[in-house]
Amino acid sequence: MVINPDKITENNANLYEDPSRFLISDLCQIVEDYMNEEQVREIYNSYLFSAQAHEGQYRKTGEPYIYHPISVARILAEMHMDSKSISAAILHDVIEDTKVTKENIAETFGDDVAELVDGVSKLTHIQFKNKKEQQAQNIQKVLLAMTRDIRVIMIKLADRLHNMRTLGVMRPEKKRRIARETLEIYVPIANRLGINTLRLELEDLGFRAVYPMRYRVLEHMISHASGHRKEVISKIHAALTSRLDEMKIDAGVIARRKHAFSLYKKMKDKNLAYKNIFDVYGIRVVVDSADDCYRVLGLVHNLFKPVAGKFKDYIAIPKENGYQSLHTVMFGPHGIPLEVQIRTSEMDMFAESGIAAHWLYKENSQQGVFDVHTRTREWLTGLLEMQQSAGDSVEFLENVKVDLFPDELYVYTPGGDIVKLPRNSTPVDFAYSVHTDVGHTCVACRLDNRFAPLNTPLYSGQTVEIITSKSSRPNPAWLNYVVTAKARANIRNYLKNMRADEAVMQGRRLLSRYLVDRKKTFDDLPGDTFDELLNEYGYETVNELLEDIGLGNRPASLIVRRLYPEDGSMSDSQPSEMKSLTPLDIRGTEGMVVSYAKCCYPIPGDHIVGILSKGRGIVIHQDGCKNIASDRLADSAIDVKWAEEVKNEFSCMTYLDVRNERGVLARLATIISDESANIEHVEVDDKDGVTTTISFLIALQGRSHLARIMRRLRSVPAVLKIWRN
């Protein structure tokens, strides 16, 4: 693309007419403070390129489009971002909104700038099923580009911030949609990267757009706070300053006000009225060293009584985003609770700037920069793992949302290392945080040297030891209680692959079974006809067809009829499945492609029938189950029988009418346990005050095992009747 500077100056003269606008000259003035002349020239050239590309384009505000990229670049310049980032910010919309290509940018400004611009650009040339998928795909693209270069997300956050500042011209529904996306995605990312100043502004802008009335009312309440509260803050400020001077601690004492969105979240989460929130204002003490932080903590606790359980030491154990500070809540004058934050000037710098401190303060505090960078790199690595495990962009985005809202707890490995996890994490989450293979093979755990179930919620300070077995595999039930995105994504991915493999094997069994009835084998399948069939049904490989057969999405009998239409020895008026000469053996080890109906709970020894269910494979019912009366005559029914050796355990529902006597439930449970059966669930229904119906869901091996249990249960005098469904 050829740039004509004279044309740009002429056609964009109106950029300089309004002094309230932020102009390229203002941007250059900011970057001149920390960049050399060549870098400033590069930024100005990117402006010329972008202005010409966007010529004739206007924002909904009515201003020339070039104002937006200049404003985005200003936000980054105030963070002291490098020249490549600021150039990319100025160019960030040219690929998306003009005819300029990535190659044009690379040719003029280099590969680094081109990659940054491409990483921020939306996917505009792909057709999406719906708005949700489009949003997920675009955010996934940005997040994955961020794993290659963290500057991508810095540009995207600055872009979103300026868009939020100018959101007023949008339609109400679009305004709310963009604001919700900001609060759900971009605010947590800014928080995760520790960029506090940017996060707070995004929060309040998003809050104002989604709930304008609530925002106005809350801001009015805060701005007209009673003089009593301000008086309390003044007294505490004076007392702290005086005591710090006495102890000769050089410190800055700052009174601060909570932001509207923070107060709104607290009111909503704790169901509080504004008048019942006393920490609208707080105190921040900034000192020179970590030792001084703890000295000031003691001073504060001597001056005012601390609130029990409200002390948090983020200096010893920083947050995931690198945030460090001491937090304590104390009872101030008149018993009003007040939060005090104590940190060093370096910690305060990182608390406000987060990962941006890498550019803003790269001259100093290299250790802090390294820590924040290391934590961010670990998180980005986790994002890549999630992306590889997720099935699609929507699932990936949901996993990221889970990962972005951690309320942290800290547990220890047996070796004494600290592991950070979100609140309500379980030992399974811990196992996957250590390593994916540890998670896949975990079978049990010890919490503080005591065995505990894998679904036990963890709490800070526990020592967690995971016991593994090479033969163990992830359990689908784990998805009901894991909370970390990494655990959820890896379990889903494993089960998805395992289910596909099981479905292929099951599909091969079903197809072979019908081929045997036609006196054919799988190897006898006609090649040309089979290829035509794959093309006709839209399959690329034989395994895709077999998987669909195994999952019940395509009956094997119809495939055989399609392959051998001339073999009409069986009447098509009756389902071929029910006339099959070779019932399918059920061994209990087929995995997720064979399930057992909860309406009749079939067990080995029962006469059974299989029903092909789309997406689930074969569902096994008792032959007389009333829920399959119509399915028996349909093409979905399939003859099955129990294999000669079935070693698995199966659930069976057993009912007992008993007299109301003390200890009868305990006696019945003891008998079941003595017979090596496991009680999975119990329900007790008091019928008339004299008799009670007890329902036991029991895991057992088959009808003979059940018969032994029922004989022993009948021997209990209080048992009046016993039966199963």
Domains of the chain in start order, with CATH, are 5-219 (1.10.3210.10), 220-364 (3.30.460.10), 492-642 (no CATH), 650-724 (3.30.70.260)
And the tokens for 220? 């009015």
Q: Rounded to an integer, what distance in angstroms lies between the CA atom of residue 213 and that of residue 686? A: 52
Confidence of residue 693 (pLDDT cuts 50, 70, 90): very high
Is position 657 annotated as part of the catalytic site? no
Q: pLDDT at residue 359 above 50?
A: no
Q: Rounded to an integer, what distance in angstroms lies between the CA atom of residue 217 and that of residue 189? A: 28
Among residues 6, 26, 93, 97, which one is catalytic?
A: 97
Q: pLDDT at residue 590 above 60?
A: yes
Query: For the chain, how many helices (H) and strands (E)?
Result: 29, 20
Question: Pairing relation of β-strands 719-724 and 650-659?
Answer: antiparallel
220: how many CB neighbours lie within 10 A of its CB? 9
Q: pLDDT at residue 387 above 80?
A: no
In terms of residues, how long is the chain? 725
Q: Does the predicted TM-score (pTM) go above 0.85?
A: no
Q: What is the pLDDT of residues 502-540, one digit of tens each?
A: 778 877 877 777 777 677 777 667 667 677 777 777 787
Q: pLDDT at residue 96 above 50?
A: yes
DSSP reduced 3-state for 511: helix
Weakest-pLDDT range from 103-117, 292-306, 367-381, 407-421: 367-381
The reported pLDDT for the residue numbered 15 is 36
Q: pLDDT at residue 683 above 60?
A: yes
* SS3 assignment for 553-622: CCCHHHHHHHHCCCCCCCCCCCCHHHHCCCCEEECCCCHHHEEECCCCCCCECECEEEEEECCCEEEEEE
Residue with tokens 């894991």: 482
DSSP reduced 3-state for 129: coil
693: how many CB neighbours lie within 10 A of its CB? 15
Weakest-pLDDT range from 167-176, 265-274, 458-467: 265-274
DSSP string, 60-85: TTSSBTTHHHHHHHHHHHHTT--HHH
Mean pLDDT over each residue of the chain, to the nearest integer: 79
Question: Pairing relation of β-strands 691-700 and 678-686?
Answer: antiparallel
Q: What pairs with residue 8 in β-bridges?
A: none
Question: Pairing relation of β-strands 584-586 and 637-642?
Answer: parallel
Helix (H) or strand (E) holding 693: strand 691-700
The reported pLDDT for the residue numbered 653 is 93
Report the chain's terminal Cα–Cα distance, integer Å: 78
Q: What is the pLDDT of residues 622-632, one digit of tens each?
A: 988 888 765 55
Among residues 6, 10, 37, 96, which one is catalytic?
A: 96
The reported pLDDT for the residue numbered 397 is 54
Confidence of residue 46 (pLDDT cuts 50, 70, 90): very high
Confidence of residue 571 (pLDDT cuts 50, 70, 90): very low
Q: Rounded to an integer, what distance in angstroms lies between the CA atom of residue 639 and that of residue 101? A: 61
The reported pLDDT for the residue numbered 564 is 72
Weakest-pLDDT range from 74-88, 287-301, 437-451, 635-649: 635-649
And the tokens for 179? 């604001």
> Rounded mean pLDDT of 688-714?
91
Helix (H) or strand (E) holding 489: helix 485-517
Q: What is the pLDDT of residues 545-566, one digit of tens each?
A: 887 777 777 777 777 777 776 5
Cα 689-694-698 angle, rounded to 5 deg? 175
Is position 6 annotated as part of the catalytic site? no
Going by C-beta distance under 8 Å and a sequence separation of 6 or more, which residues neighbour residue 128? 134, 137
Percent of the chain scoring above 90 in pLDDT: 22
Q: Rounded to an integer, what distance in angstroms lies between the CA atom of residue 621 and that of residue 607? A: 9
Residue with tokens 């008998």: 671
φ, ψ for residue 315, nearest 5 deg: -80, -50
DSSP reduced 3-state for 289: coil
Give the chain's largest Cα–Cα span: 104
Residue with tokens 């895991």: 699
